[in-house]
Structure 1
């Protein structure tokens, strides 16, 4: 049995500011994606409300309410995810400023 400590393979060293910049760019892309998804969800909600106002008398109300609730929950989830991304982005922006200083 070998009792010698394992020697780790060399780890590629990267510039911390480059890694941070890549993380920031990834967060920017995530933010854009969340914004587009939120816009789509909001549009669907408004369209659903328009349909409901025009055809409520011929629609099954429990189903309508349930579907509207699901859309609303999805909107809230997307807003929460967007907030998390923006928070990470803000923290990373602060870190980038400190690295540059």
Structure 2
């Protein structure tokens, strides 16, 4: 049971890191869009390429976050089931 809880806590940390990356990525995209609106055609071309790259990174991270959250849900179910079994036995063992 402790291994499952340890794994779950690790996933929580990974989730926080991914959410931070996504937040930063969105911020960069908005900054870039604001700069494109005030720029020349040359900057627009570079900006579009950068936006496309950032969008690709964002999609990869969102997919990774989805799979991480699925794994986290499965571990939460194992922890819940393990707790229920311990309570049924009445011994508090894990």
Aligning the two structures, in what range does the TM-score lie when normalised by the shorter sequence? 0.7 to 0.9
- How far does the alpha carbon of each residue in 1:4-34 deviate from its partner, in whole angstroms, 9 at most, with x for none? xxxxxxxxxxxxx100000000000000000
SS of equivalent to 1:59: helix
Q: Structure 2: where are the runs of 5+ without partners?
A: 85-94
- Map of 1:1-101 to 2, 5 A cutoff? 17-55=1-39, 57-101=40-84
TM-score, normalised by the number of residues in structure 1: 0.77
Aligned pairs, number: 84
What is the alpha-carbon distance in structure 2 between the residues aligned to residue 64 and residue 24 of structure 1? Answer: 39
Q: TM-score, normalised by structure 2?
A: 0.83
The residue number in structure 1 matching 2:92 is: none
Over alpha carbons, which structure has the higher Rg?
A: 1
User: Gapped runs of 5+ residues in structure 1?
Assistant: 1-16
Return structure 1 stretches of 4+ with deviation > 3 angstroms: none
RMSD across aligned C-alpha pairs, in angstroms? 1.2
Shift of 1:54: 1.2
Deviations 1:52-75 (A, max 9, x none): 0111x2534433221110011011
Is the partner of 1:50 in helix, strand or coil? helix
